[in-house]
Amino acid sequence: MTDSTTVLVVDDDVASLSALFECLRRAGYRVLVAQDGASALERAENGKPALVLLDVMMPDMDGFATCRRLKRNPATADIPVLFLTALTDTAEKLKGFEAGAVDYLTKPFQWEEVLARVRTHLRLRAAERELVAANRTLEARVAERTAELQRSLEELERLRQRLQAENAYLQQELGAEQRGIVGSSPAIESLREQIARVARSDTTVLVHGETGTGKELVAQALHDASARRDGPLVKLNCAAISAGLVESELFGHVKGAFTGATDKNVGRFQLADGGTLFLDEIGELPLETQVKLLRVLQEREFEPVGSAKPQRVDVRVIAATNR
């Protein structure tokens, strides 16, 4: 990690190097030194200085070449470089800026100017690092909020699809054209009288009859003639649901209740709250499910699959079987 008070001084002239070292040390800076370009590259990478004061005129590798190599190395590319030069030629100064330097100090040094320029560039360096850190924090927050928004949108889409499915089901079940019991024979009239008599109570009803004899019509008529007529009539064909899913269909499930339960599911009992639940072919229910169904009939409450929290419901059950 870069030390914000560390300055690397690179100069092959021992007197100049010593004078700069002493000036910066007295001002409270930690000072690293190097006398040639090769050692300067090593000290810069290992010492992590916050600023480099680099002499232009050095043997083997001059300051321009050293600066270019510092800027090519990702470990040192962001360290600001100030050139030290006795040259006053504008072209040489431009060459230094092209190599990657941010400023220069002219020999012989004016020590107040040296300290002022060092302070200025160290403050700029600190401000740049703070800005980079702030930008990273902001980018991370934006990415986090974007991910949260995406998750929320996905959840809303899942809810929308589920509500559409539930609405389609309810529209089909509740908005379908009412089908009446047609006929005027003594048997049909007797059936209508039984329906009217049973509909006045709120008891559970079992409709028995062969397949195709109109058990669902009887259930519809019982519901329409009962005090629950303004509530929903929800239907479930027990024979059409696999044994592994029948409890989820009846009682619903919470998210994560079983493999594939990626969302909460509202069961038929909850959909029928305040109305009537018609269970066709109830004899096809597994025995363990029939036991749980009995508890709902007796206690008026159930637990969704994967949940230990009971839910109370007000539902009249009409069951049908051909057995």
Q: Which of 78-82, 162-166, 266-270 has the lowest mean pLDDT?
A: 162-166
In this structure, the answer to whether residues 191 and 292 fall within a common structural domain is: yes
Domain boundary residue, one of 132, 158, 187: 132
Domain containing residue 52: CATH number? 3.40.50.2300
Indicate the number of domains in the chain. Answer: 2
Instruction: Give the model's confidence band at 120: pLDDT under 50 very low, under 70 low, under 90 confident, else very high.
Output: very high
Which of these three, 132, 167, 197, is where a domain ends? 132
Q: Quick count: other Cβ atoms within 10 Å of Cβ 280?
A: 20
Domain co-membership, 188 together with 316: yes
pLDDT per position as a tens digit, 63-89: 999 999 999 999 999 999 999 988 767
Residues 115 and 184 in one domain: no
Q: Would you state the pLDDT for residue 26?
A: 92
State mean pLDDT over 255-268.
76
Residue 194 covered by a domain: yes
pLDDT band at 27 (very low <50, low <70, confident <90, very high): very high
Q: Give me the DSSP letters along 178-216.
A: P-PPP--SHHHHHHHHHHHHHHTS---EEEE--TTS-HH
- Least Cα distance to 9 among 27, 29, 35, 28 occurs for 35
Distance CA 54, CA 138 (A): 35
218 and 283 part of one domain: yes
Structural domain contains residue 158: no
The parent domain of residue 273 ranges over 177-321
Say whether pTM exceeds 0.85. no
Same domain, 189 and 97: no
The Cα angle at residue 194 between residues 295 and 222, in degrees rounded to 5: 55
* DSSP category for residue 305: B
Query: Kind and range of the H or E element at 10?
Result: strand 6-10
